[in-house]
Amino acid sequence: MGEEITLNITRYNPDKDGKYTTQRYSIPYKNDWSILDALNYVKAELDGSLTYRWSCRMAVCGSCGMMVNGTPRLTCSTYLNEFYPKEITIEPLANFPVIRDLVVDINDFMAKLKSAKPWIIRKNKRDEDDTSKEYLQTTGQMDKYYQQTLCINCTLCYAACPVYGLHPDFLGPAVIALGHRYNKDSRDEGKADRREVLASEHGVWKCTVVGDCTEVCPKHVDPSAAIQRTKVDSAINWFFSFLTGRK
């Protein structure tokens, strides 16, 4: 027998007993295994009913996010050797309803994402259909939003955000960061369209800058800074429209 490591995995099956419990599994310890490799081992060798999401295994698809020892992580790029010989607790992402075992319901996030209109909006709608038209951009203009384009919608930031957990209506880090990304794009003209969502009472003003969204982001999107910059922009716009009486 080689070395072993213990995993404490959350189990929940509404179709069976509907109990939300933790199950312990002892598996062989391999130095180069990710948490996802370990879960695949459990499913293949020990318990075929274990349910979780994964796809790309290379931190691009954003589907394998789980709470690893209480912190939201992508399990494909979190390795057993970070924890060995200690036990590892694997839970579904915090702040989301659990569908089964390690799978959470992110419909709320998807609906909010759409509401922030994360796409290029042109005032002249014909621009959007005209595929022959080119929009040139300098590298300096691209720098203003590039960091936020790296978001993979993994929702780790939502699991890290206590404000989202406490106030489920809050738009949340990734959605605001992506709204900010298009607001800062020189080709975009949709800032006013996004404002009523981003600067609403459930938008940027709900954020109290805990900052954990930025800490857990596997792509270094820095949603926290994006939210604060959107606050600055919204406040300037508010004073401007207050002084000029324009909406």
Partner 1 sequence: MCLLKKINALEPLWWSLFGAGGMVAAFLLPAHIFIQGIAIPLGWVSPDMFNYSSLIGIVGNPIVKIYLFFMIILPLYHAAHRIRLTLEDLRIEWLNHILPLIFYGGATGLTVVTLIVLIRI
Partner 2 sequence: MAHSMNSISGKTEATKTYRRDIPNTWWLKKGSYFLFILREISSVFVALYAIFLLIQLCALSGGQERYESTAAVFKSGWMIILHVVIWVFVMYNMVTWFRISGRIFGAKPLSPVLVTISNYIIWLIVSIGIIFLLLKG
Letters for 118-157 (x = contact with partner 1 by CB under 8 A, - = none) are ----------------------------------------
What are the tokens at 227? 């939210």
The answer to whether the CB of 203 falls within 8 A of the CB of 137 is: no
Find the shortest distance in angstroms from Cβ 32 to partner 2.
29
Return the range that interacts with partner 2 (CB under 8 A); candidates 38-46, 172-180, 220-228, 236-244.
220-228
Among 212, 218, 221, 233, binds partner 2 (CB under 8 A): 212
Where in 132-171 is the site for partner 2 (CB under 8 A)?
143-144, 162, 165-166
| Contact residue for partner 1 among 39, 64, 163, 216 (CB under 8 A) | 163
Shortest distance in whole angstroms from residue 126 CB to partner 2: 33
Task: Tell me which long-range contacts 201-209 makes (C-beta under 8 A, separation of at least 24).
Answer: 202/167, 202/169, 202/170, 202/171, 203/171, 203/176, 203/230, 204/171, 204/176, 204/230, 204/231, 204/234, 205/231, 206/163, 206/167, 206/169, 206/170, 206/171, 207/163, 207/170, 207/173, 207/176, 207/231, 208/163
Are the beta carbons of 93 and 159 closer than 8 angstroms?
yes
* List 31, 126, 201, 246, residue binding partner 1 (CB under 8 A): 201
Instruction: Record the tokens describing residue 229, joined without a space.
Output: 């910059």
Q: Which is nearer to partner 1, 11 or 231 (CB)?
A: 231
Among 167, 159, 154, smallest CA distance to 221 is for 154
By CB under 8 A, name the binding residues for partner 2.
12, 14, 18, 20, 70, 94-95, 97-99, 105, 107-108, 143-144, 162, 165-166, 208-212, 214-215, 222, 224-225, 228-229, 232
By CB under 8 A, name the binding residues for partner 1.
162-163, 166-167, 199, 201, 205, 208, 231, 234-235, 238-239
